[in-house]
Amino acid sequence: MSTIRLIEEKDKEEWINLFSGPDGYLVFYKSTLPNNVIETTFNRFLDKDEPVNAAVAIDDSTGKIIGFANYVTHRNTWAIGDSLYLNDLFVSGESRLKGIGRKLIEFIYTEADRLKCEKTYWQTQFENHRAQLLYTKVGEKAGFLTYKRPSE
């Protein structure tokens, strides 16, 4: 069993390891980030004036973090209420296919309702087929492709 809750200060080391450690989220996406970005991101989770938040999945038998959902709330030109963007969703390799990703998304939906967000959305890579199997069960495709400014 697992419990989903908002992140706390005591979660810092475990969250950082799951986010950027050897078997973590950034490695899964073949990416790296400078330590100051990771530290700033975590500190934003704890700042009530920041729109950046995180939820963690805790393995009830070990008390360890086995997944997270990092999200941002923001204004939207197509609605009066805010939107919630699920920025990062990750479950550790040994904890996948146990319903934890679904529980994290359901928690995000509850948070969106609590925060009165009119829209909740996220993105994934085209090649992330395992995640898409879940996403088609808990969401619907928005019909948009994402573009970004080219790297220098």
Is pLDDT at 152 greater than 90 in this prediction? no
From 34, 48, 41, 36, select the one nearest 15 (Cα to Cα).
41
pLDDT in tens, 80-135: 999 999 999 999 999 999 999 999 999 999 999 999 999 999 998 888 888 888 99
Structural domain includes residue 132: yes
**Number of domains comprising the chain:** 1
Which uninterrupted H or E stretch holds 119? strand 119-122
Structural domain includes residue 21: yes
Structural domain includes residue 101: yes
| 5 bridge partner residues | 56
Q: What confidence tier does 14 reach under pLDDT thresholds 50, 70, 90?
A: very high
CATH of the domain at 92: 3.40.630.30
pLDDT in tens, 31-83: 999 999 999 999 999 999 999 999 999 999 999 999 999 999 999 999 999 99
Structural domain includes residue 35: yes
Which residue range(s) make up the domain with 29?
A: 2-138
